[in-house]
Amino acid sequence: MSVEPSADPSSPPVDGADTKPWTGPEDLGSFDAPEALGVPGSFPYTRGPHRTMYRERLWTMRQFAGFGSADDTNARFKYLLEHGQTGLSTAFDLPTLMGRDSDDPLSLGEVGRCGVAIASLADMRRLFDGIDLGAVSTSMTINAPAAILLAFYIAVGQEQGVPTEKLRGTLQNDILKEFHAQNEYVFPPEPSVKLVIDTIEYCTQHLPQWNTVSISGYHIREAGATAAEELAFTLADGMAYTEKSIERGLDVDAFAPRLSFFFDVHNDFLEEIAKLRASRRIWSHTMRDRFKAKSERSLLLRMHCQTAGVSLTEQQPMNNVVRVAYQAMAAVLGGTQSLHTNSMDETLALPTETAAKLALRTQQVLAHESNVTQTVDPLGGSFFMEKMTNEIEAKAYAIIDQIDAMGGVLKAIDRGFFRRRIAESAHAEQKRIDAKDKIIVGVNEFIEDGPPGIDTLKISQDTEDEQVRRLKELKQSRDAKRHEQALDRLKSDAREGVNLMPALIDAAEADATVGEMMATMKTVFGSYDGGPEW
Amino acid sequence: MTTNPPRVLLAKIGLDGHDRGVKVLARSFRDAGIEVIYTGLWQTCEATMFAALQEDADVVGVSLLSAAHMTVMPEILRIRKACGIEDLPVVLGGIVPESDYAALEEMGIAAVFNPGSPLDKIMTAMQELASRPRSNMDEAQIREGFAKRDARILAKVITAIQRETLPEGWKPPGGNATVIGVTGAPGVGKSSFIGKLGRMLCDRGKRVAVVAIDPSSPITGGALLGDRLRMMLGSPDADFFIRSLSSGGATGGLAPHCGDVVDTMKGFGFDFILVETVGAGQADVSVAKLADHTLLLLMPDSGDSVQFSKAGIMEIAGGFVLNKCDLSGADACQAQLVSAVGDSRPIWRVSAVRDEGIDAVVDWALSL
């Protein structure tokens, strides 16, 4: 119920605003190609972060998955490793994502459903049983309890005798976008960000090969933001982490190379490509000019992309295969480093094996048959593409200025800025679809009656009972005194404001659960009720 | 405003945070002239149905994108029955396979909508469900309900006051409640503070009612009533009654008939009635006429203390609550406030999100 002014320089809609049938050199004004584009792999990286891009190395096809118990996922991991995959990508179940144990009342019906349930070090040990953490790279999609999961991972590594310097992987660890969009926050914004900076500091000192934060626009876009808003909010979040890390006393060039980004790729083919190109240009300028980064690795924005889950339709679900293919091509023409393609049935249920395989095949056809990999940034220099890149860049800068004027991301969260903007954009989009200003095939045009006509996946409930039983056993068998001392230390460290990673690792080794550690920190940090809603 | 907008309660149950759909709907409903009560994320089935009962909702909409509908919806209907509000239609929106539609209908779900359902179809169905005929209470029923402290009857009486359909001649019995008004600019955290204050008064054995007022659209009469979602944390409590009202175009920070609603709550036997104003700022002075005591909420860095010192609000306040003291700038704001107040009226430093400092306000309230 705040009085945020809704008039701003880039009110939606941002798309389809062009009235001229074509674009020519006159539309680019004083466009200076060497300055605006550079060459691939050099400042300002508009054309790509690397010189040769896909000619030398294809993007990583990183399909995100996870299910059931730690043992189920462990078996899946081993299967993937045996078939030549070197990177593991872990999806956690909702209770774990929310920092709650499997036996929490709100976890009912959710344990092991949309990812693997990890409540303790014992679960993590089983998840990576027989897998050498010194030889794989592990991506963990988790946010509010990210520091705890990292502590588990470090502890398993120590048990295996792997020094922390050798641990490789990525933590999503982007709590800011949870406040804007995905809603998997627990603590209020300020202590939440403090915890992220703890992980950045700890990794900078002890896990030099670890990607500390995957700064995500994906969820912001899925929740309804426009492309320009996704771009601006995400980069503003990146700037906030950078600023706070510098305030902590870290050298920008020591941590910035380990920040990476994660964007959504939606239906508007050309706009999405422009967005990805603009992201690199804005970030390189910001890192150089605002944060005085000197190392080239700090300036170049590396990204992961995922096709837009929200663009998939329940009606005529086979059409989704086509949408995903176009979106995937936009990601590649925009120069992504890795890509997840959604399965056609994801608006109905978790994907079936057939649908998931088809999604991967879509990438393989793109990589090996379409020949779009033959040259770097093939659309670079197109009048329209450069104009659009300039425009979305300008819109993003205007929004970033607006956030800065409010006093930064945290202040803007406190005023409900992000949530309100996203909800308004989502509402505007729905109205356009309802008014047929925007056509969605099979939804508001070319409609067919009848059921979707594809098979969907059914998930069993067995995991939950088993997981709850294991947790009960753990709580009875662990060293109660050691457990209590570790949680006491966590609490006093939280009070004193020191880096919590050592205390979390200690608590992990004392068999404290995710829920217990979160509850302990909550007594100091408080919990967040969502901020201004409308 | 003489129209009677339907009241729709929208809820998300469980840990799933996908709220794009429910928020788009909330806005569309508001634009269509509906009063929308949104209860926020992470609700239990029980808390949702308690809220529906207290708000006397015309329809309840549950949003589920976690595929837990076949576990959650039977539980919702079980609680609906246990609460004695079986005539309340419940609809479901979310990712629901068509193969589950028949089973859901069979168990008593009034309608199911999926991500592709067009807005106008949803809207028509909701309007139809909301405009179903509702039984009128006679005086004897109300009297009996009050004697038995039946929250359903209280909820329906409040609706009848708003819709001006109360039986002629019924007057609430007298009561001894202390009425505390809470005002302050938007964003200072009035709802969270009231939620915590109310809950703590309950913990000290008091019966507490809250009237939370949000603005309504002057054009459509619709409203987004979102205060309640900050008060929902914790388990539902029969002695903690929350009712959301829309301002219905009234100025002064209150709602039409607000005085009658408060009198009715008094007659129901509450010990404390907490009234949250719209938060329009300086115009929010009418709460002082209604309340025995008025608290002004402020937050660090807002510059409001200066702004307020020029307005009547400073004079009507019986006490000042400096909320969000976990944020920087609290000391400076307090100093500013002390000099602006200039007398012995209490000033409390609290942090509603961290549960800090509210004890002192509770002690003050209990001493009144």
Same domain, B162 and B206: no
Domain total in chain B: 3
Range of the domain at B256: 178-366
Same domain, B117 and B214: no
Indicate whether B2 belongs to any domain.
no
> Which candidate from B114, B214, B351 shows the least CB-CB separation from A1?
B214
| CATH number of the structural domain spanning residue A92 | 3.20.20.240
Highest-confidence range of A325-334, A341-350, A359-368, B137-146, by mean pLDDT?
A325-334
Q: Is B239 exposed, middle or buried (0-12, 13-18, 19+ CB in 10 A)?
A: middle
* A15/B192: higher pLDDT: B192
* Sheet order of strands, B347-349 included: B240-246, B208-214, B272-276, B178-184, B293-298, B319-322, B347-349
Short-list A179, A117, A186, A415, CA closest to B42: A186
Q: What is the pLDDT of residue A153?
A: 98
* Rounded CA separation B107/B91 (Å): 12
Token digits for A5? 């002014």
* Rounded CA separation A264/A311 (Å): 11
* B283/A104: higher pLDDT: A104
Alpha carbon A42 to its chain centroid, in Å, reads 25
User: What is the ipTM score, two decimals?
Assistant: 0.78
Of the pLDDT bands very low, low, confident and very high (cuts 50, 70, 90), residue A396 is very high
Same domain, B151 and B244: no
DSSP H helices, A24-69, are 33-36
With a cut of 70, say whether residue A17 has pLDDT above it.
no
Q: What is the pLDDT of residue A433?
A: 92
Q: Is A198 exposed, middle or buried (0-12, 13-18, 19+ CB in 10 A)?
A: buried
| CATH number of the structural domain spanning residue B124 | 3.40.50.280
Q: Ramachandran region of residue B253, left (φ > 0), alpha (ψ -120 to 50) or beta?
A: left
Question: Which amino acid is present at B110?
Answer: A
| Cβ atoms within 10 Å of B139's Cβ, excluding its own | 13
Same domain, B92 and B142: no
Q: What is the pLDDT of residue B188?
A: 85
Instruction: Give the relative orientation of helices A353-368 and A319-333 as an angle to the nearest 10 degrees.
Output: 40
Token digits for A134? 């010194």
Same domain, B107 and B197: no
* Sheet order of strands, A259-265 included: A60-61, A338-340, A303-307, A259-265, A213-216
Token digits for B241? 């009654």
Instruction: Give the relative orientation of helices A417-434 and A227-247 as an angle to the nearest 10 degrees.
Output: 170
* Rounded CA separation B345/A186 (Å): 36
Same domain, B157 and B62: no
Short-list B178, B187, B183, B24, CA closest to B115: B24
Same domain, B66 and B123: yes
What predicted TM-score, i.e. pTM, was given to this entire model? Answer: 0.87
* Rounded CA separation B278/B212 (Å): 8
Please enumerate in sequence order all residues whose Cβ is within 8 A of that of B305, keeping only pairs 6 or more positions apart, or say none. B298, B333, B336, B337, B340
Same domain, B300 and B357: yes
Q: Do A430 and B120 touch (CB under 8 A)?
A: no
Give mean pLDDT in consecutive 10-residue pieces for chain B, a chain of 368 residues: 78 88 91 91 90 96 87 93 94 89 95 86 92 84 93 95 88 94 87 93 96 85 85 76 87 82 96 88 72 91 56 82 85 85 91 89 95
> How far A30 CA lies from chain B's nearest CA (Å)?
41
> Which candidate from A106, A315, A348 shows the least CB-CB separation from B14?
A106
Closest-approach residue (CA) in chain B for A114: B66
Domain total in chain A: 1
- Percent of chain A residues past pLDDT 90, beyond the cut: 77
Q: Does B16 touch chain A (CB under 8 A)?
A: yes
Same domain, B126 and B205: no
Q: What is the pLDDT of residue A494?
A: 97
* Rounded CA separation A219/B116 (Å): 20
* Number of helical H runs and strand E runs in chain B: 14, 13
Look at the block and give the residue holding tokens 């900078």: A204
Indicate whether A194 belongs to any domain.
yes
With a cut of 70, say whether residue A6 has pLDDT above it.
no
Q: What is the pLDDT of residue B303?
A: 57
Q: Does B124 touch chain A (CB under 8 A)?
A: no
Short-list B95, B126, B70, B179, CA closest to A309: B95
> How far B120 CA lies from chain A's nearest CA (Å)?
8
Indicate whether B1 belongs to any domain.
no
Same domain, B217 and B318: yes
Indicate whether B30 belongs to any domain.
yes
With a cut of 70, say whether residue A313 has pLDDT above it.
yes
Question: Which amino acid is present at A102?
Answer: S
Q: Which residues pair with A441 in a beta bridge?
A: A445
With a cut of 50, say whether residue A4 has pLDDT above it.
no
With the C-alpha atoms ordered A192, A197, A203, A205, is the resulting torsion angle positive or negative? negative
Indicate whether A442 belongs to any domain.
no
Q: Does B44 touch chain A (CB under 8 A)?
A: yes
> Which candidate from A98, A431, A459 shows the least CB-CB separation from B15?
A98
> How far B187 CA lies from chain A's nearest CA (Å)?
5
> How far B142 CA lies from chain A's nearest CA (Å)?
34
Indicate whether B172 belongs to any domain.
no
Same domain, B160 and B88: no
Q: Which residues pair with B295 in a beta bridge?
A: B182, B319
Indicate whether A153 belongs to any domain.
yes
Q: Is A291 in contact with A304 (CB distance < 8 Å)?
A: no
Indicate whether B247 belongs to any domain.
yes
Same domain, B105 and B42: yes
Indicate whether B67 belongs to any domain.
yes
**Which chain A residues are closer than 8 Å to B350 by Cβ?**
none
Range of the domain at A269: 25-434
* B65/A246: higher pLDDT: A246
Q: Does B102 touch chain A (CB under 8 A)?
A: no
* Rounded CA separation B231/B219 (Å): 28
**Which chain A residues are closer than 8 Å to B354 by Cβ?**
188, 525-526
Highest-confidence range of A255-269, A411-425, B245-259, B320-334, by mean pLDDT?
A255-269
| CATH number of the structural domain spanning residue B186 | 3.40.50.300
**Which chain B residues are closer than 8 Å to A417 by Cβ?**
none
Q: What is the pLDDT of residue A2?
A: 38
* Rounded CA separation A307/A435 (Å): 25
The radius of gyration of chain A from alpha carbons, rounded to an integer in Å, stands at: 23
pLDDT tens-place string over residues A57-83:
999 887 776 777 899 889 888 887 887
Question: Which amino acid is present at A414?
Answer: D
Q: What is the pLDDT of residue A452?
A: 65
